[in-house]
Amino acid sequence: MQNKIIGREAVMRAVIDAACDLFSEKSPSRVSIREIAEKAGVNHGLIHRHFGSKRNLIQAVLTDIDKQIRDASGSGKSFEEIFRLASRAALNDSRIWRIPARLIMDGDADLLQENQTSFLRELKDMAAKDFIKGGFQGLSSDDSIYLLIALGLGMEMFGDYISRSMKIEAPSMSTILPFISTIISEQ
């Protein structure tokens, strides 16, 4: 039997962790508050008390994911280092990219735009200042960083499918990161 979770912070942490796990397994729209409460080991009324609504809980989950990736990349000194650390964090915890992907596939991308503390916005601003003065191959710095992130996410989400359908071995992110570094250093 699970120990009873006591205290506002402990309850909120357990709920966010449970919601992260469930939202990465299936679409947030298909996960009930009762499922989250059961996985977290709390009464479902506490979720309503502490988060108010499922939409607010999704925002709390997105903020938590953002904090995880920000914490993982916080020791980086340059854009390249921070990008590499953030990429590794996303590879080590697939919830970081699975939850936003599920929201997008469900047509709930507006929830992602509500996240005002987005690490990706900061990364974009850093790219514009730090290295992509003229962009890559004539692209703007915004387009360049967009393509770098899309490449990483696309490989993670669809790499197996592409590899199998083309009958080639997918390159690893450890292979791709030096390529991205080359792009960065050419600027």
Across 30-44, 119-133, 141-155, which has the greatest mean pLDDT?
30-44
pLDDT at 174: 65
Residue 98 has pLDDT above 70, yes or no: yes
Residues 6+ apart with CB under 8 A from 115: 59, 62, 63, 66
pLDDT at 150: 77
**pLDDT band, residue 117 (cuts 50/70/90):** low
| CATH number of this structure's domain 1-52 | 1.10.10.60
Average pLDDT over the chain reads 81
Residue 31 has pLDDT above 80, yes or no: yes
The mean pLDDT of 37-53, rounded to a whole number, is 95
For residues 4 and 141, give the distance between their C-alpha atoms in angstroms, rounded to a whole number.
50
Across 30-39, 45-54, 174-183, least confident range: 174-183
For residues 28 and 19, give the distance between their C-alpha atoms in angstroms, rounded to a whole number.
8
Residues 6+ apart with CB under 8 A from 74: 85
pLDDT at 116: 57
Residue 131 has pLDDT above 90, yes or no: no
> 67 is written with which tokens?
């904090």
**pLDDT band, residue 82 (cuts 50/70/90):** confident
Residue 53 has pLDDT above 90, yes or no: yes
